[in-house]
Chains A and B, each alone.
Chain A
Amino acid sequence: MSLSREDIAGRLAAANYIADGELATAISVMQLLRRPLLLEGEAGVGKTEVAKALAAIHDAELIRLQCYEGLDQSAALYEWNYQRQLLAIEAHKGTDPDRIERQIFSETYLLERPLLAAIRREKPPVLLIDEIDRADEEFEAFLLEILSDWQVSIPELGTVTAKTVPHVVLTSNGTRELSDALRRRCLYHYLDYPDADREARIILARIPEAGAGLALQIARMVAGIRKEELRKVPGVAETLDWAAVLVGLDIRDLHDDPETVHETLICLLKTREDSARITRPVTERILGRVA
């Protein structure tokens, strides 16, 4: 199934994902060339959301592999169900050892992990490999092999070839430099913080009660705060939290209640230095520039 670019843009909107202009192109190129998409960007710009939206537009299952230091094959690909195997060996004591071996290394005793699950689905799922930069270099190399061959060999079972090629999205925060080989294998998309207009539309899509006027004010205020020198720049999720709080406190216009606006900034500022930096006068200065 291949969708035209217009279809993709339409479906993204229907999936409640407010995309920046180029994402629809990225997705159409991705399905044309069957390459994985590597998303980079600061924490909190909505990288993971892209994968969810992609799953929604293809109406596909989302399989997520969260990477961490020390992630290995048994957590990413497959593992045997050892407890069951041991029980089976005990239960069938005395029977032909070959038969036992054949039995315990069969499908029933295999635990599917995300990578294996992704290539064994009938309908191509969306495979999200989240924060690939947290995994070790060795895992990256292993992943590269799977992403190019689409097959996995399990010594006891044989080679499993992909039934369908999943849509793969990788995300990276840049805590470690990725290998050139992996970068070359993937399409690249850099996600930036949304501009005020787009962020306002995101707020509206998630919290419709906010109303267009307040959403735009919030988005501009956050854009102003992002320009300050902060240790931890607030992401879209923080903006949404803040918007929910303001709506919950029944604020219709930021200028009505600068006091509450300043006090609720704790939703956005997550370190001590940052809260010390955004003092009341700073809040008022930024607020002054918000129409």
Chain B
Amino acid sequence: MSCCGTPPSPDEMNELSRFVTDKLAAFLKTLRGASFAVGLSEGQDAAALMAAGYAKKPGLLRSAFKHLFSSRKADWDAFDGLFDAFWLNKRTRSRTAIAGSPAASANPATKSLAEQPSPGSGDAANDQIPADGDDARQRSGEGRAEGASRAENLATTDFRKLSDPADIAEAHAVAARLAQAMRTRLTRRDLARRQGEKLDLRRTIHRNISHGGVPISLLHRQRKQKPLRLVVLLDASGSMSLYTGVFLRFIHGVLDEFREAEAFLFHTRLAHVSEAMKERDPARALDRLSLLAQGAGGGTKIGESLATFNRWHAARVIHSRTCVMIVSDGYETGDAALLGREMAQLGRRCRRIVWLNPMMGWEGYAPEAAGMKAALPHIDLLAPAHSLQSLAALEPYLARL
């Protein structure tokens, strides 16, 4: 324990047998594979820990490594299983632990996606099951459980439209205009409302030293503006399938153009798609999205999805200058009362709620779907939107939020 903090010297490394060093390196590799952020310095520290006597008891070593290698809750929960599987060869326990942990199961999926063939060729939508190794086993198991409906769903929800270059450019242009309008307008309004600026004493004094300390030229300080954050929740259910393509392109643009934006997709459950959609290459984004959106097209549980959002994501993605945009037709197959309650809660949290409803474009439409009715009291702006043109037409309204 005398070697506090110093990186292990060659001598210390020799103390560990060659075997252990190799094994440690292999373990680090395993951890990286399970989406742990493990760098060189962590490896050195791990060796230092082992040299300092933590390796005597497996329980102690596991606990020490757990603190060192984990960097978030998902890591923390997955670690014990990974450690036991690797060092203690407890196969059964480890498998359940790894399969159950979000980090471990999410990451191989995304990795294999990146290596997939481009889906530009027409029949891609049904070909999303990754073909390689470990992951394929897991996936195919899932597919069997879900039955034949999956292929059908993917066919009806046509994400392929996302990859038409002209459409993408247009969607980005609309999103860019929107981002511009919403940002500038908000900044001006805030400036007008401010009572007065603070004097920056530190810099004023510094500047005026040459005047013998008499503050002649004053320097002010302005409060920094936080950019508006846009959170988009897109309904990808069957009833919306005509419009999903349009809005996905729009979301891709929003994530690109807004300084802060998050995107979620929901049908019967909620999926956080920002990471997948931030992929520069639209074909790749589409690839990753198709997997996330599995089950799309089978009913809409807006209330439940919103509840998930409020419970697990809202605290993180919503701050005081957040506008939530929900794109849905409001045809709720779940409990409409729940939707009302969750909308109320969401309304308390964020600055504005915009609900874009493609059905409103239809002649003689009245918001009569049960879900729409329940949500209506909590919406700041309800507007029609079914194409990029109509989105662009919304610009003046959205700018005023």
State in angstroms the CA–CA spacing of A184 and B213 once bound together: 45
What is the total number of residues of chain A having a CB less than 8 Å from a CB of chain B? 44
A-binding segment of B68-76, B177-185, B186-194 = B68-76
Min CB gap A186→B, angstroms: 7
Flag whether B337 is at the interface (Cβ < 8 A).
no
CA distance A186 to B69 in the complex (A): 9
Is the Cβ of A100 less than 8 Å from the Cβ of B213?
Answer: yes
- Taking CB atoms, residues of chain B closer than 8 Å to A187 are 67-68
Structural contact, A90 and B213, CB atoms closer than 8 A? yes
A5 to chain B, nearest CB (A): 7
Q: Does B45 contact A (CB under 8 A)?
A: yes
A79 to chain B, nearest CB (A): 7
- Contact partner, B67, options A22, A100, A101, Cβ 8 Å: A22
Q: Is A40 an interface residue (CB 8 A)?
A: yes
Q: CB-defined interface of B204-233 with A at 8 Å, one 1/0 digit per residue?
A: 010001101111000000011000000000
- Decide if A89 touches B72 in the complex (CB within 8 Å): no
Which of B58-66, B112-120, B293-301, B376-384 lies at the interface with chain A?
B58-66
CB-CB < 8 A to A97: which residues of B?
Answer: 209-210, 212
| A1-37 interface bits toward B, Cβ cutoff 8 Å, 1 = contact, 0 = none | 0101100000000000000011001101111111101
Segment of A170-178, A236-244, A252-260 in the binding face? A170-178
In the assembled complex, which residues on chain A have CB atoms less than 8 Å from the CB atom of B42? 184
| Cα-based distance from A176 to B320 in the complex (angstroms) | 12
Q: Choose from B2, B67, B210, B319 the contact partner of A25 (Cβ within 8 Å).
A: B67
A28 to B64, CA, bound (A): 9
Contact A190 B76 (CB under 8 A): yes
User: A32-B48, A33-B49, A175-B316 known; A188 and B1 CB under 8 Å?
Assistant: no
**Contact among A22, A30, A35, A74 for B66, CB-based, below 8 A:** A22
Within 8 A of B (CB), among A68-83: 70, 74, 79-80, 82
A183, B213: Cβ atoms under 8 Å? no
Q: Is B315 touching A174 in the complex (CB atoms < 8 A)?
A: yes
Bound: A29/B70 CA distance, A: 13
Q: Does B37 reach chain A (CB closer than 8 Å)? A: yes
Q: Assuming the A-B contacts A22-B63, A183-B37, A184-B42, are A34 and B316 also in contact, with contact meaning beta carbons closer than 8 angstroms in the complex?
A: no
Contact of A289 with B by CB under 8 A: no
**Chain A hits for B63, CB < 8 A:** 21-22, 25-26
- CB proximity of B349 to chain A, nearest CB, Å: 11
Min CB–CB distance B227 → chain A (angstroms): 12
Chain A residues closer than 8 Å to B72, beta-carbon distance: 40, 183, 188
Please report the C-alpha to C-alpha distance between residue A95 and residue B282 in the assembled complex, in whole angstroms.
Answer: 69
With contact pairs A89-B212, A174-B315 given, residues A29 and B64 touching in the complex (Cβ less than 8 Å): yes
Q: What is the bound-complex CA distance between A176 and B4, given in angstroms?
A: 33
List A residues 143-202 near B (Cβ within 8 Å): 173-177, 180, 183-184, 186-190
Whether B280 sits at the interface, judged by CB under 8 Å, is: no
Cα A56 to Cα B63 in complex, Å, equals 23
Is there an interface contact between A2 and B4, defined as CB atoms closer than 8 Å?
Answer: yes
Instruction: Specify which chain B residues have a CB less than 8 angstroms from the CB of A30 in the assembled complex.
Output: 67
Q: Which residues of A contact B5 (CB under 8 A)?
A: 32-34
A97 CA to B214 CA, complexed, in Å = 12
Interfacial chain B residues near A90, Cβ < 8 Å: 213
B201 beta carbon closer than 8 Å to chain A: yes
Cβ-defined contact, B202 with A80, below 8 A: yes
Minimum distance in angstroms from A277 CB to a CB of chain B = 12
Binary per-residue interface labels of chain B (267-291) against chain A in the complex, 1 for a CB within 8 Å, 0 otherwise: 0000000000000000000000000
B4 touches A31 (CB 8 A): yes
Contacting residues, chain B, for A264 (C-beta < 8 A): none
Q: Confirm or deny: B39 has a beta carbon within 8 angstroms of a beta carbon on chain A.
A: yes
B48 close to A33 (CB less than 8 A): yes
Task: Count A-B contacts at CB 8 Å.
Answer: 100
Measured CB to CB, the nearest residue on chain B to A2 is B1
- Report A44 CB to chain B, min CB distance, Å: 15
A188-B205 contact given A33-B48, A90-B213, CB 8 Å threshold:
no
A66 CB–B CB distance under 8 Å: no
Contact A180 B37 (CB under 8 A): yes
Q: Does the CB pair A184–B68 fall under 8 Å?
A: no
CB–CB B68/A32 < 8 A = no
* Residues of chain B lying within 8 A (CB to CB) of residue A85: 205, 213
Nearest residue, chain A, Cβ from B73: A190
Q: Which of chain B's residues have a CB closer than 8 A to the CB of A291? A: none
| Nearest A residue (CB) for B69 | A188
**Complex interface: chain A residues within 8 A of B39 (CB):** 184
0/1 per residue, B309-325, Cβ < 8 Å to A? 00000011001000000
Which of chain A's residues have a CB closer than 8 A to the CB of B210?
97
A101 and B209 contact, Cβ closer than 8 Å, known pairs A32-B5, A33-B49:
yes
Chain B residues near A177 (CB-CB < 8 A):
316
CA distance A77 to B214 in the complex (A): 26
* A86 interface hit (Cβ, 8 Å): yes
Question: Which B residues touch A174, using CB under 8 A?
Answer: 315-316
Q: Which of B1, B48, B75, B213 contacts A4 (CB 8 A)?
A: B1
How many angstroms between the C-alpha atoms of A176 and B5 in the bound complex?
30
Residues of A near B109 (CB, < 8 A) are none
Interface residue ranges of B249-263 to A (CB < 8 Å) = none
Given contacts A25-B67, A29-B68, A35-B45, contact A188 B76 (CB under 8 A): yes
- Chain A positions within 8 Å of B205 at CB level: 80, 82, 85-86
Which chain B residues lie closer than 8 Å to A79 at the CB level?
A: 202
Q: Are B201 and A82 in contact, CB atoms less than 8 angstroms apart? A: yes
Q: Tell me the smallest distance from the CB of B55 to a CB of chain A, in Å.
A: 13
In the bound complex, CA of A245 to CA of B214 (Å):
59
Q: What distance in Å separates the Cβ of A185 from its nearest Cβ neighbour in chain B?
A: 9
Report the 4 A-B pairs with minimum CB-CB distance, sorted nearest first.
A89-B213, A183-B71, A34-B5, A25-B63
Taking beta carbons and an 8 Å cutoff, which residues of B are in contact with A? 1-5, 37, 39, 42, 45, 48-49, 52, 54, 60, 63-64, 66-68, 70-73, 75-77, 201-202, 205, 209-210, 212-215, 223-224, 315-316, 319
14 contacts between A and B (CB under 8 A): A2-B1, A25-B63, A26-B67, A33-B45, A34-B5, A38-B71, A40-B72, A89-B212, A97-B210, A100-B212, A180-B71, A183-B37, A187-B67, A190-B73
Given A28-B64, A33-B68, A173-B315, 9 more pairs with CB closer than 8 A = A2-B2, A29-B67, A31-B4, A32-B5, A33-B48, A80-B205, A97-B209, A183-B37, A184-B71
